[in-house]
């Protein structure tokens, strides 16, 4: 085909900067959304423990909405839809303060929170009732049994799925490009449109994504092995 | 010490306990036997309200276990319960299983709790396994740790729900030895078990249960050698165990 | 919101047809179904390769699956967008691009589900087949796969739901599916973005929730009928 594969053009000067900024933005978005997801996930889990029907329905609805609506559509609802409902000063504030990044973080974080809540719930449910009974038989109340016996074991079980969620969150940040967030995929397209070296540009981005993804996967495998408890 | 007064319990439309009455005095050892499904495990679990009852009363030291004013957690600290499936906490070491209750409920200091826990482990013959994780212990060792865990709380009563049924035959002896020691030291005990040899040696009275009711009661020698109920005769003949 | 729906329901449903290519929800479902159907043979091949006793085959398959799982779908779509014209030799439309990208992407995830299904079968099945003298291919296609696929039916329905959600990325390459249709409606109306995208979200919600409920129903039916425990793998894309 007579095509020369030349990485130098793509990795020099300002194009390299664009890649790095893109990577930095991707990582920043991942971290911000992750913090939101973990916080919200814990909040949802706590709400679930309150034996009040309407609250249980609320959490169920929250989880089902975020699991059945595509993430891209959720991002659009937040970015295009929500600001139109807010009063003008709020909208202006959002516009000035990196609106796309903020709203993308919210969308990604809240969506991941639904999965976090489900993973923690699965972890708790997988602990046999007998463990709770044994703890209660020693004299622990509900909170003691939960805090010292059930949750420590549930969290060990929930960590590998949670690390998987982190991987998904990292990959999903690429969707933010659709609303103009300058993360890695967005910048890659910029580089590609300026240099016309499509293959090289995407190869670089692919390498970066794969490196970090494999890192997270390896982390998950390692942690999974360390936390494994032999069945008693 | 423990008094059952006409205890009734239903699971849906099935009656698990039908008007069960009986007394367990201080320092006495009662053994509950019977075919599976007769309600013996259910009965023993009502003592610490692990099962709720629909009729009658269960009294521990004169206090109605089911009454609202009773602190059930306090009660459970005074009554030790040993499960068929041991139910050790897999995320804690053997000694950790024991110190958990001591530090969090009895509010003991860390070192005091460790000393006490080691003493209990020594009592059941497992001092050298203190730091072992439950996953690495044999069934008999796990059950002994479970017994040590309950004993560390200084209970006045010990309840055993088929403690050896899940064990391989060669490990049954070590657990029974611990239980016999306990009985000899004057502990009030109720044991649900199939180990008739143990019952004959140690029990003050054997209760034979069938379909939720106690149908025969008596001293081990009488009951085992000359059972009155044909069902008990049949039951005893099916458990062929050499006396230990 | 109701008026928007009343005025534009046709656009949501079939895109600009007949004044343009078919789009909307119809195209969404068409793409999801086509992609999943086409990826099936590849998924089975990948799963069998991963479980193969030939090291080179299983390593290659594992590498492929890990690579696909490590990349965001949008990168896949861009790779396909730029390079399928070169490979095929002609211009490739948004819909075709999306389907090709999804076939590759879904094959990896579906292969994991199939692999879990195969590994979840009791060893006795393989031993019985070997004892009867059945060869590898007969065992695989007549005994192992039928059972594995039946057991993993709920997971596969879940994967179908994921695929439907993934078609929304067609927006980025102007493939005419329902998200793209919604953005067109929004570009015309301009003043009611929340209502438009709320309708879009609701559309996906109703469709996917119905399918997810179907998956749960199937799972219950399977669990009730089986003595052997079946693994449930939800491989989120």
Q: Give the span between the Cα atoms of B57 and B63, in whole angstroms.
A: 10
- Residues of chain B where predicted confidence (pLDDT) is lower than 70: 224, 226-230, 239-244
Residues 143-202 of B with CB under 8 A from A: 149-150, 153
CATH number at residue A171: 1.10.3720.10
Q: Give the span between the Cα atoms of A134 and A106, in whole angstroms.
A: 41
**DSSP string covering B37-54:** TSSHHHHHHHTTTSS--S
Of C79, C165, C208, the CB nearest to A202: C79
Cβ within 8 Å, pair A70-C186: no
3-class state of residue B33 by DSSP: strand
First to last CA, chain B: 29
Take residue C107 and report the two structure tokens written for it: 């094959």
Of A141, A148, A229, the CB nearest to B90: A229
Cβ within 8 Å, pair B90-A130: no
Take residue A54 and report the two structure tokens written for it: 């309407």
Cβ within 8 Å, pair C72-A175: yes
**pLDDT value, residue B31:** 92
Take residue B60 and report the two structure tokens written for it: 């521990």
3-class state of residue C100 by DSSP: helix
**DSSP string covering chain A:** ------HHHHSSHHHHHHHHHHHHHHHHHHHHHHHHHHHHHHHHHHHHHS--HHHHHHHHHHHHHHHHS-HHHHHHIIIIIGGGGS-HHHHHHHHHTTHHHHHHHHHHHHHHHHHHHHHHHHHHHHS-HHHHHHHHHHT--HHHIIIIIIHHHHHHHHHHHHHHHHHHHHHHGGGGGGGT---HHHHHHHHHHHH--HHHHHHHHHHHHHHHHHHHHHHHHHHHHHH-----
Take residue B138 and report the two structure tokens written for it: 């044999």
Q: Sign (positive/negative) of CA torsion C36, C215, C201, A98?
A: negative
Neighbours of B183 (CB within 10 A): 21
Neighbours of B191 (CB within 10 A): 28
Q: Give the span between the Cα atoms of B161 and B86, in whole angstroms.
A: 10
- SS3 of B86-135: the string is CCCCCCCCHHHHHHHHHHHCCCCCHHHHHHHHHHHHHHCCCHHHCCCCHH
- Residues of chain C where predicted confidence (pLDDT) is lower than 70: 226-237
Q: Give the span between the Cα atoms of B144 and B167, in whole angstroms.
A: 11
Of B76, B85, B90, the CB nearest to A139: B76
Find out whether C177 and C24 touch, Cβ atoms under 8 Å. yes
Domains recognised in chain C with CATH numbers = 2-225 (1.10.3720.10)
Tens-place pLDDT, residues A150-179: 989 998 889 989 999 999 999 999 999 999
Q: Is residue A2 part of a domain?
A: no
Neighbours of A8 (CB within 10 A): 8
DSSP symbol at B228: S
DSSP symbol at C144: I
3-class state of residue C192 by DSSP: coil
Query: Which region, left, alpha or beta, applies to residue C174 given φ > 0 means left and ψ of -120 to 50 means alpha?
Result: left
B2-11 and B14-24 as β-strands: parallel, antiparallel, unpaired?
antiparallel
Distance of CA C136 to CAs C23, C44, C53, C142, C216, Å?
Answer: 44, 14, 11, 10, 33
User: Which subunits have 3 or more CB–CB pairs within 8 Å of chain B?
Assistant: A
- Mutate one of C78, C179, C204 to test the A interface: name it (highest A CB count within 10 A): C78
How many alpha carbons lie under 13 Å from residue B138 in its C-beta half-sphere? 12
Return the domain boundaries, chain B.
Answer: 2-88+155-238
Interface of C with A (CB under 8 A): 66-67, 69-75, 78-79, 82-83, 161, 164-166, 168-169, 171-172, 179, 182-183, 186, 191-198, 200-201, 204-205, 208-209, 212, 236
Peptide bond into B44 cis (omega under 30): no
Could you tell me which residues come within 8 angstroms of residue B230 by beta carbon, excluding any fewer than 6 positions away? none
Q: How confident is the model at residue A17 (pLDDT cuts 50, 70, 90)?
A: confident
Q: Do chains C and A touch (3 or more CB pairs under 8 A)?
A: yes
Q: Is residue A232 part of a domain?
A: no
H helical segments located in B105-219: 110-123, 139-151, 169-184, 196-202
Domains of chain A: total: 1
How close B228 comes to chain A (CA, Å)? 36
Q: Give the span between the Cα atoms of A133 and A151, in whole angstroms.
A: 14
Of A130, A135, A139, the CB nearest to B153: A139
Among residues B231, B164, B227, B220, the alpha carbon closest in space to that of B195 is found at: B164
Find out whether C23 and C17 touch, Cβ atoms under 8 Å. yes
Q: Is residue A167 part of a domain?
A: yes
Q: Is residue A63 part of a domain?
A: yes
Inform me whether the pLDDT recorded for A13 exceeds 60. Answer: yes
Q: Is A152 on the interface with B (CB under 8 A)?
A: yes
- Mutate one of C197, C204, C229, C235 to test the A interface: name it (highest A CB count within 10 A): C197
Domain B2-88+155-238 superfamily per CATH: P-loop containing nucleotide triphosphate hydrolases (3.40.50.300)
Cβ within 8 Å, pair C70-A217: yes
Among residues B158, C139, C97, C58, the alpha carbon closest in space to that of A138 is found at: B158
Average pLDDT, chain A: 90
Inform me whether the pLDDT recorded for A12 exceeds 60. Answer: yes
Place of tokens 């709790």: B113
Of A72, A199, A202, the CB nearest to C171: A72
Q: What is the pTM of this model?
A: 0.82
Residues 67-106 of A with CB under 8 A from B: none
State which residues form the domain around A27. 7-227
3-class state of residue C121 by DSSP: coil
User: Which subunits have 3 or more CB–CB pairs within 8 Å of chain A?
Assistant: B, C
Q: Is residue A60 part of a domain?
A: yes
Among residues A146, A204, A174, the alpha carbon closest in space to that of A26 is found at: A174
Tens-place pLDDT, residues C137-186: 888 888 888 888 888 888 999 999 999 999 999 999 988 899 998 998 88
Give me the residues paired with residue B213 across strands.
B210
User: Which subunits have 3 or more CB–CB pairs within 8 Å of chain C?
Assistant: A
Place of tokens 């009611």: C192
Residue of C nearest to A170 (CA): C72
Find out whether A41 and A117 touch, Cβ atoms under 8 Å. yes
How close A227 comes to chain B (CA, Å)? 10
Among residues C120, C109, C127, C108, the alpha carbon closest in space to that of C145 is found at: C120
Cβ within 8 Å, pair C75-A185: yes
Q: Is residue A150 part of a domain?
A: yes
Tens-place pLDDT, residues A99-120: 899 999 999 999 999 999 999 9
How close B7 comes to chain A (CA, Å)? 21
Cβ within 8 Å, pair A69-C165: yes
Q: Is A30 on the interface with C (CB under 8 A)?
A: no
Distance of CA B203 to CAs B32, B151, B187, B216, B244, Å?
Answer: 10, 20, 12, 15, 14
Q: Give the span between the Cα atoms of A179 and A177, in whole angstroms.
A: 5
Cβ within 8 Å, pair A217-C186: no
Give chain A positions within 8 Å (CB) of B80.
137
Identify the burial level of C211 via C-beta atoms within 10 angstroms of its C-beta, where 0-12 means exposed, 13-18 middle and 19 or more buried.
middle
Among residues B13, B16, B26, B24, the alpha carbon closest in space to that of B56 is found at: B16
């Amino acid at each position: 085909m007579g095509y020369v594969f030349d990485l130098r053009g793509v990795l020099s000067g300002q194009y390299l900067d664009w890649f790095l900024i893109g990577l930095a933005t991707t990582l920043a978005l991942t971290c911000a959304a992750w913090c939101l997801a973990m916080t919200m996930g814990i909040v949802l889990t706590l709400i679930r423990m309150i034996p009040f029907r309407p609250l249980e329905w609320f959490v169920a609805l929250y989880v089902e909405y975020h699991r059945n609506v595509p993430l891209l559509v959720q991002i659009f609802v937040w970015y295009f839809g929500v600001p139109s409902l807010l009063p003008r000063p709020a909208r202006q504030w959002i516009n000035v303060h990196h609106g796309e990044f903020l709203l993308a973080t919210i969308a990604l974080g809240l969506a991941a929170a639904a999965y976090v809540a489900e993973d923690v719930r699965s972890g708790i449910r997988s602990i046999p009732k007998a463990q709770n009974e044994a703890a209660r038989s020693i004299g622990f109340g509900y909170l003691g049994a939960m805090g010292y016996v059930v949750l420590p074991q549930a969290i060990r079980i929930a960590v590998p799925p949670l690390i998987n969620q982190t991987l998904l969150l990292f990959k999903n940040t690429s969707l933010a490009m659709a609303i103009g967030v300058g993360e890695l995929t967005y910048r890659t397209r910029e580089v590609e449109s300026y240099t016309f070296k499509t293959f090289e540009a995407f190869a670089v981005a692919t390498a970066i994504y794969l490196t970090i993804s494999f890192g997270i996967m390896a982390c998950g495998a390692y942690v999974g092995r360390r936390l494994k408890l032999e069945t008693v | 010490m423990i008094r059952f007064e006409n205890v009734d319990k239903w699971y849906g439309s099935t009656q698990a306990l039908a008007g069960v009455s009986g007394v367990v005095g201080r320092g006495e050892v009662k053994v509950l036997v019977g075919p599976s499904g007769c309600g013996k495990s259910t009965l023993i679990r009502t003592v610490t309200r692990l099962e709720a009852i629909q009729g009658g009363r269960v009294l521990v030291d004169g206090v109605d276990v089911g009454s609202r004013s009773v602190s059930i957690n306090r009660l459970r600290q005074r009554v030790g319960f040993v499960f068929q499936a041991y139910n050790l906490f897999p995320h804690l070491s053997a000694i950790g299983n024991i110190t958990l209750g001591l530090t969090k409920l009895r509010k003991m200091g860390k070192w005091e709790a460790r000393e006490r826990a080691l003493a209990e482990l020594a009592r059941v013959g497992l001092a050298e396994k203190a730091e072992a994780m439950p996953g690495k212990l044999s069934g008999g060792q796990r059950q002994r740790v479970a017994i040590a865990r309950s004993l560390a709380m200084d209970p006045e009563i010990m309840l055993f729900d088929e403690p050896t049924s899940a064990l391989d035959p060669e490990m049954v002896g070590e657990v029974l030895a611990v239980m016999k020691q306990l009985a000899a030291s004057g502990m009030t005990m109720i044991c649900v078990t199939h180990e008739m040899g143990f019952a004959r040696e140690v029990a003050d009275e054997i209760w034979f249960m069938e379909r939720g009711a106690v149908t025969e009661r008596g001293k081990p020698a009488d009951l085992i050698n000359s059972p009155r109920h044909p069902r008990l005769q049949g039951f005893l003949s099916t458990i062929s165990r050499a006396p230990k | 919101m109701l008026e928007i729906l009343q005025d534009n329901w046709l656009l949501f449903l079939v895109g600009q047809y007949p004044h343009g290519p078919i789009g909307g929800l119809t195209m969404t479902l068409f793409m999801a179904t086509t992609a999943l159907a086409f990826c099936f043979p590849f998924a089975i091949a990948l799963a069998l390769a991963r479980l193969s006793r030939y090291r080179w085959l299983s390593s290659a398959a594992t590498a492929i699956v890990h690579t696909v799982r490590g990349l965001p779908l949008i990168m896949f779509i861009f790779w396909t967008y730029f390079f399928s014209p070169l490979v095929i030799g002609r211009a490739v439309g948004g819909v075709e691009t999306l389907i090709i990208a999804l076939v590759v992407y879904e094959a990896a995830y579906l292969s994991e589900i199939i692999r879990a299904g195969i590994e979840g079968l009791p060893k006795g099945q393989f031993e019985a087949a070997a004892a009867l003298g059945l060869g590898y291919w007969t065992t695989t296609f007549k005994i192992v796969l039928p059972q594995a696929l039946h057991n993993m039916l709920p997971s596969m329905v879940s994967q179908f739901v994921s695929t439907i959600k993934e078609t929304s990325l067609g927006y980025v390459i102007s493939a005419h599916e329902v998200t793209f249709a919604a953005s067109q409606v929004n570009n015309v109306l301009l003043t009611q973005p929340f209502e438009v995208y709320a309708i879009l979200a609701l559309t996906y919600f109703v469709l996917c929730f119905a399918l997810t409920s179907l998956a749960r129903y199937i799972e219950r039916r399977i669990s009730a009928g089986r003595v052997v425990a079946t693994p449930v793998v939800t491989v989120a894309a």
